[in-house]
A and B are shown apart, each in its own frame.
Chain A
Amino acid sequence: MSDYSPSEMMIVAAARALAGVRTVFVGVGLPNIACNLAQRTVAPDLELVYESGVYGARPARLPLSIGDPALVTGALSVCSMADLFGLYLQGGRIDVAFLGGAQIDRYGNLNTTVIGDYARPRVRLPGSGGACEIAIHARQVFIIMRLSRRSFVERLDFLTSPGHLGGSGERERLGMPGRGPQIVVTDRCVFRFDPGTGEMVLVSLHPGVRLEDVLAEMGWNPRVSPNLTETEPPTPEELRLLREELDPLGVYRS
Chain B
Amino acid sequence: MKLTTLRDAIARYVRDGDTIAIEGFTACIGFAAAHEIIRQGRRDLVLCRMTPDLVYDQMVAAGCARKLVFSYLGNPGVGPLHAVRRAVEKGIPAPLELEEYSHFGMVARYIAGAYRLPFFPLRSYVGSDLPKVNPRIRFVESPYGDGSIAVVPPLNPDVAIIHAQRADVNGNTQLWGLLGAQKEAAFAARHVIVVVEEIVDEEVIRSDPNRTLIPGLIVDAVVHEPYGAHPSYVQGYYDRDNDFYLRWDEISRDEAATRAWLEEWVYGVQGRAEYVEKMGRETWERLRPAQAWARPVNYG
Q: Is the CB of B72 within 8 A of A81?
A: no
Q: Give the contacts of A78-96 with B (CB-CB under 8 A).
A: 78-82, 85-86, 89-90
Q: Is the CB of A129 within 8 A of B107?
A: no
Q: Assess whether A226 is interfacial by the CB under 8 Å rule.
A: no
- Given A53-B178, A72-B235, A127-B73, A137:B130 Cβ within 8 A: no
CA distance A158 to B167 in the complex (A): 44
Main secondary structure of the interface of A (DSSP, over half): loop
A-B contact pairs, 6 of them (CB 8 A): A64-B240, A72-B177, A73-B292, A74-B292, A124-B73, A137-B123
Chain B residues within an 8 Å CB radius of A85:
103-104, 107, 122
- A166 to chain B: closest residue by CB: B127
Give the complex CA separation of A204 and B300 in angstroms: 61
Per the CB 8 Å criterion, the residue count for chain A at the interface is 51
| Structural contact, B122 and A133, CB atoms closer than 8 A | yes
Given A80-B184, A82-B184, A124-B73, verify A159-B26 contact (CB < 8 Å).
no
Q: Is the CB of A82 within 8 A of B181?
A: yes
Query: Bound state CA distance, A97 and B51, in angstroms?
Result: 20
Report if B289 contacts A (CB, 8 A): yes
Whether a CB of chain B sits under 8 angstroms from the CB of A52 is yes
Report yes or no: B123 in contact with A69, Cβ–Cβ below 8 A: no
B193 at interface, CB cutoff 8 A: no
B92-116 contacts to A, CB under 8 A, are 100-105, 107, 110-111
Q: Which residues of A contact B (CB under 8 A)?
A: 28-29, 51-54, 64-69, 72-74, 78-82, 85-86, 89-90, 109, 113, 118, 124-133, 136-137, 158-162, 165, 170-171, 174-177
By the criterion CB–CB under 8 Å, are A51 and B124 in contact?
Answer: no
B72 contacts across to A, CB distance below 8 A? 126-129
Residue of B nearest to A175 (CB): B147
Contacts of A52 in B (CB 8 A): 25-26, 178, 180
Inter-subunit contact A174/B126 (CB<8 Å): yes
- Which residues of chain B are near A162, meaning CB under 8 Å? 126-128
Residues of A within 8 A of B85 (CB): 124
* B135, CB-defined interface residue at 8 Å: no
The 4 closest A-B pairs by CB, nearest first: A67-B26, A162-B127, A126-B74, A133-B124
Query: Which single member of B124, B176, B240 contacts A132 (CB below 8 Å)?
Result: B124
Contact partner, A159, options B50, B123, B128, B289, Cβ 8 Å: B128
Asked whether, in the complex, the Cβ of B27 is within 8 Å of the Cβ of A69, the reply is yes
